A and B are shown apart, each in its own frame.
Chain A
Amino acid sequence: MENTVKQIVEKYNTNRNRLMDMLIDIQESEGYISRDAIATLSQLLEMSQADVEQTLSFYHFFSTKPRGKYAVYLNNSPVAYMFGREAIKEAFEKSAGVRFGEVTSDGKIGLFDTACIGMNDQEPAAIINNMVFTRLTPYRVRELVKMMKEDKPIEELRKESFGDGKNYLPSLRSMVSSNIRRKGMILSDDYHFGTVLREKLPTLSPEGVIGEIKHSAIRGRGGAGFPTGLKWEFCRRAKGDKHYVVCNADEGEPGTFKDRVILTEKPELVFEGMALAGYAIGGEEGILYIRYEYRYMKDYLEEVLHKMRKEGLLGTNISGIEGFNFDIRIQFGAGAYVCGEESALLESLEGKRGEPRDKPPFPVERGYLGYPTIINNVETFATAVRIVQNGGEWFTQFGTDDSTGTKILSISGDCMFPGVYEVNWGFNVEDMLDMVGAYDVQAVQVGGPSGTLIGPDEFHRTLGYSDLSTGGSMIIFGKQRNLLRDVVVNFMEFFIDESCGSCSTCRNMTQVMNNKLKKILAGKGVANDLKDLKEWGRVLNASRCGLGQTAANPIISSLKNFRPLYEALLQKDKDFDEGFDLEKSVQASCSYVGRVPVFNHH
Chain B
Amino acid sequence: MSNLIKFKIDGKECMAEAGKFIVDAAADNGIYIPTLCNMKGVKPKGACRICSVRINGRLMTSCTTPVADGMEIESNSTDIQDLRKSIIELLFVSGNHFCPACEKSGNCELQALAYRYQMMVPRYPYEFPMKPVDASSPRIIKDQNRCIFCKRCIKTIKDETGRSYFVFRNRGHKLEVVLDEEMGKTINSATAHLAMENCPVGSILVKEKGFDTPIGKRKYDKEPIGSDIKL
* Chain A residues packing against B (C-beta within 8 Å): 46-51, 53-54, 57-58, 336, 353, 358, 360, 496-505, 507-512, 515-516, 532, 536, 538-539, 541-544
Contact = CB atoms under 8 A, between A and B. Distances in A.
Given A501-B149, A508-B94, A515 B168 contact: no
Nearest to A354: B171
> What 10 pairs between A and B have smallest CB-CB spacing?
A501-B175, A50-B180, A499-B172, A358-B64, A54-B167, A508-B94, A50-B167, A508-B90, A542-B52, A48-B180
Contact of B59 (A50, A360, A542): A542
Contacts of B181: 49-50
B178 A502 contact: no
9 contacts: A57-B168, A500-B172, A502-B151, A503-B46, A504-B49, A504-B90, A507-B149, A542-B49, A544-B46
B115 interface: no
A360 B65 contact: yes
Given A47-B163, A49-B180, A544-B46, A502 B83 contact: no
Contacts of B46: 358, 503, 544
Contacts of B124: 512, 536
B87 A50 contact: no
A95 to B, nearest CB: 30
Given A50-B169, A57-B170, A511-B127, A505 B93 contact: no
A500 B45 CA distance: 14
Of A47, A48, A57, A505, most B-chain CB atoms within 10 Å = A48
Given A353-B171, A501-B174, A507-B172, 13 more contacts: A48-B163, A50-B164, A50-B169, A51-B163, A58-B171, A358-B64, A498-B172, A499-B173, A500-B171, A501-B175, A512-B93, A512-B94, A536-B124
A200 B40 CA distance: 53
A353 B180 contact: no
Interface in B109-125: 123-125
A515 to B, nearest CB: 7
B171 A358 contact: no
A345 to B, nearest CB: 15
A57 B172 CA distance: 11
Contact of A503 (B49, B93, B170, B180): B49
B183 interface: yes
A515 B125 contact: yes
B47 interface: yes
Contact of B94 (A360, A497, A511): A511
A539 B182 contact: no
A57 B87 contact: no
Contacts of A497: 172
A58 B123 CA distance: 31
A507 B94 contact: yes
A531 to B, nearest CB: 11
Interface in B21-42: none
Of B61, B171, B175, most A-chain CB atoms within 10 Å = B171
Nearest to B175: A501
Interface in B99-150: 123-125, 127, 148-149
Given A53-B167, A57-B169, A507-B175, A502 B125 contact: no
Contacts of B178: 50
B183 A504 contact: no
Nearest to A547: B172
Given A502-B149, A504-B148, A539-B83, A353 B90 contact: no
Interface residues of B, number: 48
Nearest to A503: B49
A49 B161 CA distance: 14
B173 A511 contact: yes
Nearest to A509: B90
Interface in B63-111: 64-66, 79, 83, 86-87, 90-91, 93-94
Given A54-B167, A539-B83, A542-B87, A501 B182 contact: no
Nearest to B44: A358
Nearest to B165: A48
Nearest to A50: B180
A501 B175 CA distance: 6
Contacts of A353: 168, 171
Contacts of B50: 504
B225 interface: no
Contacts of B165: 48
Nearest to B47: A502
Contacts of B170: 57-58, 501
A279 B166 CA distance: 43
Contacts of B83: 538-539, 542
Given A58-B170, A501-B149, A544 B49 contact: yes
Of B44, B94, B123, B173, most A-chain CB atoms within 10 Å = B173
A38 B44 CA distance: 29
B196 interface: no
Of A360, A500, A509, A539, most B-chain CB atoms within 10 Å = A539
A504 B47 contact: yes
Contacts of B16: none
A249 B151 CA distance: 30
B37 to A, nearest CB: 9
A507 B178 CA distance: 17
B200 to A, nearest CB: 12
Of B79, B148, B168, B183, most A-chain CB atoms within 10 Å = B168
B205 interface: no
Nearest to B79: A538
A543 B58 CA distance: 11
Nearest to A353: B168
B48 interface: yes
Contact of A512 (B90, B163, B166, B182): B90
Contacts of B151: 502
Contacts of B182: 48-49
B87 A505 contact: yes
A539 B87 contact: yes
A547 B130 CA distance: 26
